[in-house]
Structure 1
């Protein structure tokens, strides 16, 4: 049953990605600003509609939470044993800027934790996917699949930190211990940075600023199956569908668990009220 659901998630992400790329290549889209000042486009809305229609058709018994749809109240959601968690375009700013570093994200959350994750990067023609207990994989446009593993660590080399192209480096380096030697790798969307960690290109990523559970759901299982994890900025586990708000605290995406991460990143409390 779970294998079928993974295939549904992959198919849905690919279908939404085709629509996103059609709009992206035409360059004909509308742009808006949400209440939290984050951007949204007509491509986000179109992808959201495709994903919801496809998932309702193929898995009608599984409810859906999406960034671009109104969420039900916690009292309603808390009864769900499993649900789809969607981000139709992760990296809308990158979509608008034309960098290509955006992705379609789908997670299946089961008993409060992501069990399936799919991150499809339509511009790069890569699809990352994972299922709890069954590993993490990257598929290219030709259908070739590689199993992913976080980078090895011998305690000697510099660490590679994935960073945003659109955020001052000092915003994240302030949370590193002073003695840390690192290289930074600029890249686009939140979820694709986590994929860089899963495939061993980067070691970690610090995310400051507002994100939702849809930003981390697919990345969570992908990173865990590759040997990494995602924690909040105080090194506590994230939560899924446990609070009225679906917004995340600041978080850190981490690779090899043999790295003494508390000696790399300074734990800090995010002061925003979620």
Structure 2
């Protein structure tokens, strides 16, 4: 995998933001506030956002970030290319200190995610997806969070696995399992003898399917565009679909209402 200059900025920004998050995470001394929608906000969210902006502002593309004042749709609608950023996805997991939180950055072109990076600061796992190259990779950085000289590491390429005829692995959320999700799982019982539930927080749920560690991810709970854009790019780059339950089409981005409806991450043959 060869990264373009703008893509490399995003990767460096995600990793450096992850290091800023860990400084606060390891100190266990972080303040928690709540936004208007009652979602938590910590000093780590803000420190990560600041670091990401330092990198992405070197590119020529505008930025939409969860932790930056939202630009009006009248202005955004003229943006054909933009960055979509979640500086700390899984703030609840961060507060719980279970390590399952990520930094998400995606590049959106004509309402579609074409590039995505997800960094997991605690485990130092770095996921990168290039949709036009039909390639996603995962590498594990060293303890200093240094990027490798090359991303063409043997075994780095992600390869999803289709479910077999008797067993399916379903990704569930640690924080958002609900009745709609349970109903989806129950409906699978007519087609599969065994259903395994794989629980994960944050955008790692996308990564599990892309990596072949799970087969399907039903998300029947609210998300915002910045929660899903990077994961969708990584999944689509390996031939998976991220399909809106409402439209039957892939999720679109930079919409006037940036709240996603329910969606399903699946194999195209599903």
Same fold (TM over 0.5): yes
Q: Does 1:119 align with 2:132?
A: no
How far 1:165 moved relative to its partner? 1.9
Q: Does 1:206 align with 2:218?
A: yes
4+ long deviations beyond 3 Å: 142-145, 167-171
Among 146, 165, 182, which residue is 2:174 paired with?
165
What pairs with 1:43-62 in structure 2 (closer than 5 Å)? 43-56=44-57, 58-59=58-59, 61-62=60-61
Q: Does 1:258 align with 2:269?
A: yes
C-alpha distance in structure 2 between counterparts of 1:240 and 1:16, whole Å: 23
C-alpha distance in structure 1 between counterparts of 2:236 and 2:166, whole Å: 23
C-alpha distance in structure 2 between counterparts of 1:166 and 1:239, whole Å: 24
Contact 2:163 2:169 in 1 (8 A): no
Q: Does 1:136 align with 2:172?
A: no
Instruction: Please report the TM-score for the alignment, with normalisation by the length of structure 2.
Output: 0.88
Who is 2:145 aligned against? Answer: none
C-alpha distance in structure 2 between counterparts of 1:171 and 1:151, whole Å: 25
Distance 1:67 1:180, change over 3 A: farther
Who is 2:233 aligned against? Answer: 221
C-alpha distance in structure 2 between counterparts of 1:89 and 1:173, whole Å: 27
Task: Name the SS for the 2:197 alignment partner.
Answer: strand
What pairs with 1:159-198 in structure 2 (closer than 5 Å)? 159-168=168-177, 170-176=179-185, 177=187, 178-181=189-192, 182-189=195-202, 191-198=203-210
Task: Write out per-residue CA displacement over residues 212-260 of structure 1, whole angstroms, 9 at most, x where no aligned residue.
Answer: 10011111110011121211123332121132x2111122122x2222x
How far 1:153 moved relative to its partner? 3.9
How far 1:152 moved relative to its partner? 3.3
Distance 1:216 1:167, change over 3 A: closer
Which runs of 5 or more residues in structure 2 are unaligned? 143-147
Who is 1:237 aligned against? Answer: 250
C-alpha distance in structure 2 between counterparts of 1:41 and 1:158, whole Å: 40
Instruction: Please report the TM-score for the alignment, with normalisation by the length of structure 1.
Output: 0.87
Task: Write out per-residue CA displacement over residues 158-179 of structure 1, whole angstroms, 9 at most, x where no aligned residue.
Answer: 1101111234464512134251
Which runs of 5 or more residues in structure 1 are unaligned? 260-274
How far 1:97 moved relative to its partner? 0.1
- Superposed CA RMSD in Å reads 1.7
